[in-house]
Amino acid sequence: MGAAISPSIAAEFELVDSYSKADVIVDVTNADAARENLPQVAAAGAHAVVGTTGLSDIDVDMLHDAFIAAGKSCFIVPNFAIGAVLMMKFAEQAAPHFDGVEIIELHHDQKKDAPSGTAKLTAERIGADVPIHSVRLKGIVANQEVIFGTTGQTLKITHNTLDRSAFVSGVSLALRKVDTLPPGVTKGLDAVL
């Protein structure tokens, strides 16, 4: 399987035409660029692995339709760290046993969206209107804490990313598995774990 990766597909999309034999395009740009790039990826007949967050539900619906029409998969992965995926799964399992939950997510000061895609997906998987608190500071890569409370006890499920190398195994897994997913949009790395 061939793959084309560009850190700024929006600025270089003309170069992506030279990747016309690529099976997969990885988009880790920003939401505005991804809105423009990803329909073109579908039209070019490639699968997409998307690490960009900040896409709205309307964006995701539009991408779903574009990739279904192309017969290709768009794999949106808010967090490529395996530990973060497990954190979301554990939070989903814990939720029915507690009266309340809040999420605190912390990211580097260059992250544009708040709350993060990981925090939004965690809240979606918990299935409740979960308050999310966002922190943006230098010195942080990506951390999230899900705090549950009920009478006489709390439970904290925490994931800390100490270095960007934590995302490599998840990106590799997504690239290997994207062509096994159904056409349209699939969200979350746990779909292929």
| Helix boundaries (H) for 44-177 | 57-70, 82-94, 117-126, 168-177
Q: 183, 70 in Cβ contact below 8 A? A: yes
Is 96 buried (19+), middle (13-18) or exposed (0-12) by CB count in 10 A?
Answer: exposed
Query: Is residue 64 flagged as an active site residue?
Result: no
Task: Spot the catalytic one: 108, 111, 133, 177.
Answer: 111
Query: Is residue 107 flagged as an active site residue?
Result: yes
Task: Spot the catalytic one: 107, 120, 159, 187.
Answer: 107
Instruction: Please enumerate, as own/partner, the contacts of 114-118 that have beta carbons within 8 Å and a separation of 24 or more.
Output: 116/53, 116/78, 116/79, 116/142, 116/144, 117/53, 117/54, 117/55, 117/78, 117/79, 118/53, 118/78, 118/79, 118/84, 118/88, 118/142, 118/144
User: Which residues are tagged catalytic?
Assistant: 107, 111
